[in-house]
Structures are given as structure tokens and as C-alpha cells.
Amino acid sequence: MGDSKTPSLVIGENNQTTQPLTEKSETNDNDNNNNNNNIINNNNNNNNNNNNNNNNDNKSDNNNNNNNNIINNYNNEKDIINNQENINIETNNNNKPYTNNTNNTNNTNNTNNTNNNNNNNNNNNNNNNNNNNNNNNINNQQKSTFKSSLSSFLTSYYTSSTNNNNSDSNNNNNNNTNNTNNNKTTYFGHVRNSISYVTSSLPGIPSYSSLPSFNIPLISYISNSIPFPINYSRSSNLTNNNNNNNTTTTTSSSSSSSQPIPIKSNDKQQQQQQQQQQLNNPIAPINMSPNSFNSISIESNRLVISNSLGTEEQFQDIIRRLEQSNYKLHLISLDTFIENIKNDLTLSIDDISSSVQSYIATTLPILMHVCASIPFQTNEGAINMIESKSSSSSPLPPPLQTLMGKSINEIEIIIYEFMEQYIASRLYRRIFSSQEAIQKDTLLCEHISRFQHITPSNLDINDSIISTQFLEQIQEELLYISIFKSPREKLMCIKKSFKLLFQLLSKTQLPSVVGADLLLPIVIFCLIKSNLPFLWSNLQFISLFRDPTLIESETNYFLVTMITAASFIENMTFESLTDAVDPNAPPKSSDDNIIIESNNIEINKEKIEEQKENNNNNNNNNTLEPIIIDTLQQHESNKLVSDKEIVNENEREIKNSASSNDNDKMKIVTNNATEEEKKKLFKFYNSKPEELSVKEIKQLLNEYNSLVDKYFETK
């Protein structure tokens, strides 16, 4: 009963499948129907003899293959026929395309021999078949194809019967192995179908040009029927294909639209950031927490920010948002930017400030998007790229609670404040360790130390206004400027210092109105007395790293006053101070020097006078000696010239000398003699004996006698 049913079902299916095909398929139907009748088969064979074209044979083979494939599909759908039959059919299907491929590629005798071998095998298997025609190759091929299909069904029938005879356990094992084989064969079948598609599309054979359009939907239809595991892989492949299409469109769009450079750099940054993220994940939060804690502790201890824009809570929320996994890239970009500046020691402070400002300008819109879900206001190309990324990653993030209900400008200010504080506080050591700043600070401190002795009056300030307590409090307040690391906090410190100054001034009794005329000198005096170690560096830091548009007007005035005071001190000299009111140590020291110099001059003068006196004495002694010698020579010469006259004159002189015994007369004579000697010295200093007259000789003799008398009187 069962045996009779199965072949009838198979035959019926063949009939159903072959009906919609073309006329040639109808002819095939006729052949199949006539297989049961020998006479009709012979007639058909005779008809086939008329058509001897290889093309027709090839086409019929392809049609048969398609028919078999469709049969497989119906079998799978119905799940009636045993797996064994399916296996046999599929194996035959696998063989046939291979043979067709060989026929297509090579038309040699070897292929015919292989076909003949197959035919022989089939004949051996099929005992019921009585038709054996080896004379005609064409007829053999056609018969072989038809017989092989029938033999496949019959062999499956016999194998199933034999399996029934075997034990149940063997059947179970065979079923398991058959199932696995089934899966494998279906997989390979898919592969070979694709191979056949490729071979059919080869340009070498023009006869196949009409068929690819017909084959494509079948392949898609076949691929749809593949079992689950292959479908899973197929779905991923489909998505890949779709992505490929999208990538092509994106590349075309990207090529068409000229993208700005920073976006590409941002892409590179993100790639590098991802790599660094993998490396730095455990390290970054540890580094983050102490810094934020330090800033919080300092700020909580010292300052109370009343400004709602840029509070510490807002900064904490921003950091928390950036520490999330989705947005850690931006935080890492900040850290890498900071580290690059730290590592690059060739940069000057101006370069650092310009690079920081430009970096903040580029990253500000990104953070506004991340923290407050504000859309970008950049180029269209950039918008498209960023939107694609954002859409791919996740929907827009919800805005932070602390930033709710604020305008775009206010949010921009808050995020700018955050970035400024974050970057500046971490670059603080890099900036303050620069040699330029250290040199200028040291020079300024040395310059200020020279003026520590000044009093308020040197700056036209009343002494009653400023007291030691006043200075101590202001110094204490000014020293905090160096403690804070962000320019905003430093400015808050300066503002607080000025407010303290005003409070202290209000306590004192002021003679007049307090304006800049009085404020600036007081600030200068306080800075000189406090002598801050990093005055110049702090002012430079604030001016370079603080956006001037965000500085409050009043605080800006205080900053400008500090800058003017510092510049005045830098160029300050003693001449610029008023010396007349109260003289200070430098003028006194200068006066003392002058006095010492004057004393030295006086001493020198005294010495010079002494030398002059000595010289005068020496001159006198020198002049006296030659005169005496001259007189003696003259005396001798006179004696030789005229002895008589001399004797007479001597007698007269003796009388004269005897007559002049009076002491008074002697004194007068001595005085006169001295005068005469002086006159004579003047007259006869350079005279010669020949030039002298008689009267002159007498005078000389008289003088000689007087000198001799004096000489003996002393003895």
C-alpha cells in the first residue's frame, strides 16, 4: 500500500511543477510520461534526433536543474518525504551542475567518457530500465539525464526499504548523520548555486546573456529558504551591505562638501582619545577627584560666590556629566591638551594663552551640546557629520539640572568659566615656573626692597590714615592672591582686598573725599610695604588667561588700579617721590657723603698749604747763600783792584762804626740794613764785578762789616 503511494506522489509533483514552464519543458513532460511506454519513448527519441543542437541540450539541462531545485523546495515545505530521499536528490543536484560546468568549460572526449561512466553506473543501479542506446552521444546524454532523475527516486525508494530492514538504532544514527549532512549540503548547495550564477554570467558564452535576469530572483528566493544559522549570518551580511551603501553615499557627500579641517582633527582626536581611554580609564578619575576637592575646599574656605553664573555646583555637575562613559572623550581631550602644553617646554606664556583661548573657542559649542543640549551653530557640513555621529551614538542628552531655565548666553558663560578654571588651574605650575616670570619677579622684589623705608608723606599721604595694623591686614589679604590658581579666583581676591581697604579707610578720620587721587597712592604704599613675591606673575596671569568681557566693571577697575600701581613701582625712583616733606634715609646718607667729601677736601687744602710754606722756606735759604758768596768775591776783587782806596775807606768805616755805638741807632740800622739787604739782593743778585760802581762797592763793604759785627756779637 505505502509503496504504491510514494511513486505516485513523486510523479504528480513532477507534473505540477513542469506545467508553467516553456514548450521545451512540455516536450520534457512528454518524455517523462512516455517513460512508462517503450513504444512512445522510441517515437520521441526519433523526434529528438531531428534537433541536434548542443545549445538546446544545454538549455534543457538548465531547465532540469531548475525543476529539481523547485522540487527540493516543495519537499522542504511539505516535509512529507524522508530526509534520505532529500539527501539523494540533493547529491544528484550537486553532481549535475558540476557536470554542466565541465560541459560548458570543456567539450572533450574525457567529459563524454565521464558521462558514459555515470550512465553505466546508473544502468547497473537500475535493473528495471531496458533502454540502452550507446550509439548516439546526444541520445545518450538526454537519456542519461532522464534516467538519472528516475534512478534517483528509485534508489531512494530501495534504500529506504533496506533501512527499514535494518535495526532501529542504526536508523536513528543514520537520521542524525543525515540531518547534519542535510545542513552541510544545503550550505554547500547555496555556495554552488552562487558559483553557477557566476559561471552563467561569464561573457565568453553569449548564449547565457539572456539568462542572468531570470536567475537572479531564483537565487534570492533560494537564499530566503536557507535554514536559521545561515539566515542569521545573512542578516548581518545584509546590514553590512546596507552600511556599505551608506558609506558610499557618505563618501560621495563628504567629497562633494568641503569639510572644515578642525572636524577632521576632531575625528583624529576622538580616535586617539579612544585609544587613550582604554589605557587611562582607571587613572583619570583618581587624578580628577583630588583636584576638584582641593578647589572646592579652598573656595569654600575663602570665597562665597554670589554670582549665579559659574558656581561650584554647576562645575561639579559638568564634571560628572563628562565623567560618564558616553562623554569621557571630551574630558580626555581636555586632559591631553593640558598635558601637551605641560610637556612642550619651548612654548612661551603668550603662546600658551593664545592656544588655550583658541582651544576653548573650538570646544565650547561641543560642551554646550553635551551639558545643555544646545544645537551646534557651525557649518552645514560639520552639522551633518556631527548629527550623524550623535544619531549613531545616542539621542540628545538631557540638560543638567543646574543649567535648566537659563539662556544660551548664560550657559555659554558658565561653561566658559568651567573650562577656564579647569585648564588654568592645571597649567598653573607650568606657567609660574617659567624663567621669564621668575626673573621679573625677583627684580621687582629687589627694587621694592630699596624703598621699604619710605613713609606715607613721600607719596603725599597723611600719616594718620595708615597704621601698622592697617598694613598687616591688607598684606594678609594680598598674599592670598598667590594661593588661588584660577584667574577668576585671583580677581575675587583682589576685589576683596580693595573692599577691606575701603572698610579700614572708613574707620579713620579723613580730611577730604576719597577718590583716585588718594586711592592710588595708598595702593602703591601698601604694595611697597607688603612686597608680594609674585606680583608681576599674578597680574600677567590674570590679564592673559581671563576673558576681559567676563570681568565685572568694578573688579576691572580694581585690577587696572593694581596694574597702574605695579607699573609705577617698577619705574619708581627717589626723584619721583616728594623729599621736601620728610627727608628719608637715602637723602641723609647722601648728605653725609657730601660732608665727608668736604672734610677730605679741607684736609687736602691744609696739606697743600704746609707744602707751600716748606717750599717758601727752602727758597729763602737758597737765595741767601749765593749772595754771600758774591759779596765775598766782590770784596776780594775790590782789594786787588785798589788797595789804597780800600784802606782809606776802612778807616772811615771804623770811625763811623765807633760813632754809631748807640743801641737805638744800631737797631734802626739793622732794620735799615735788612731793608737795604733786601733792596740790594734785588739789585745785585745777577750783577758782575765789572758792572759795579765805587759807591756801590762802599755800600757792600758797609753791609759786610755790619754782618761781621753781628756775627761776633752772637758769640
Query: What character string, x for contact with other proteins (CB under 8 A) and - otherwise, covers 502-531?
Result: xx-xx---x--xxxxxxxxx----------
**Measuring CA to CA, how many Å separate 237 from each of 186, 187, 194, 222, 490?**
18, 16, 15, 16, 60
Considering only 65, 101, 276, 705, the residue that binds other proteins (CB under 8 A) is 276
Give the separation between CA 149 and CA 193, rounded to whole angstroms. 19
Cα–chain center distance at 417: 19
**HEC per residue, 469-534:** HHHHHHHHHHHHHHCCCCHHHHHHHHHHHHHHHHHHHHHCCCCCCCCHHHHHHHHHHHHHHHCCCC
Helix (H, G, I), strand (E, B) or coil at 273: helix
- Asked whether position 457 contacts other proteins by CB under 8 A, the answer is no
- Asked whether position 272 contacts other proteins by CB under 8 A, the answer is yes
Considering only 212, 229, 262, 375, the residue that binds other proteins (CB under 8 A) is 262
Residues 63-92 that bind other proteins (CB under 8 A): none
Considering only 237, 358, 433, 615, the residue that binds other proteins (CB under 8 A) is 358
- Asked whether position 467 contacts other proteins by CB under 8 A, the answer is no
Query: What character string, x for contact with other proteins (CB under 8 A) and - otherwise, covers 371-400?
Result: -------x----------------------
Give the separation between CA 308 and CA 402, rounded to whole angstroms. 10
Closer by beta carbon to other proteins, 111 or else 276: 276
- Asked whether position 265 contacts other proteins by CB under 8 A, the answer is yes
Closest CA to 116 of 100, 104, 133, 128: 133
User: Which of these segments, 292-300, 419-427, 500-508, 601-609, binds other proteins (CB under 8 A)?
Assistant: 500-508
User: Which of these segments, 262-270, 433-441, 606-614, 670-678, binds other proteins (CB under 8 A)?
Assistant: 262-270
| Cβ at position 296, least distance to other proteins in Å | 28
- Asked whether position 563 contacts other proteins by CB under 8 A, the answer is yes
Closer by beta carbon to other proteins, 422 or else 558: 558
- Asked whether position 271 contacts other proteins by CB under 8 A, the answer is no
- Asked whether position 336 contacts other proteins by CB under 8 A, the answer is yes
- Asked whether position 359 contacts other proteins by CB under 8 A, the answer is yes
Closer by beta carbon to other proteins, 278 or else 468: 278
Residue type, position 222, single letter: I
Burial class (CB in 10 A: 0-12, 13-18, 19+), 259: middle
Query: What character string, x for contact with other proteins (CB under 8 A) and - otherwise, covers 570-589?
Result: -x----x-------------
- Asked whether position 189 contacts other proteins by CB under 8 A, the answer is no
Give the separation between CA 14 and CA 493, rounded to whole angstroms. 98
Closest CA to 89 of 13, 199, 141, 176: 13
- Asked whether position 554 contacts other proteins by CB under 8 A, the answer is yes
| Cβ at position 265, least distance to other proteins in Å | 3
Count Cα neighbours of 553 within 13 Å in the Cβ-side half-sphere: 0
Closer by beta carbon to other proteins, 498 or else 684: 498
Query: What character string, x for contact with other proteins (CB under 8 A) and - otherwise, covers 338-357?
Result: -xxx-xx----------x-x
Q: Cell numbers for 370, please give them.
A: 553635551
Closer by beta carbon to other proteins, 10 or else 562: 562
The C-alpha cell 575625528 sits at 267
Question: Is the separation of the CB atoms in 175 and 80 below 8 Å?
Answer: no
Closest CA to 335 of 293, 369, 287: 287
Closest CA to 451 of 540, 559, 554, 525: 525
- Asked whether position 567 contacts other proteins by CB under 8 A, the answer is yes
- Asked whether position 709 contacts other proteins by CB under 8 A, the answer is no
Give the separation between CA 639 and CA 644, rounded to whole angstroms. 9
The total number of residues shown for the chain amounts to 715
- Asked whether position 640 contacts other proteins by CB under 8 A, the answer is no
Q: Which residues bind other proteins (CB under 8 A)?
A: 260-262, 264-265, 269, 272, 275-276, 336-337, 339-341, 343-344, 355, 357-359, 361-362, 378, 409, 460, 502-503, 505-506, 510, 513-521, 553-554, 557-558, 560-561, 563-564, 567-568, 571, 576
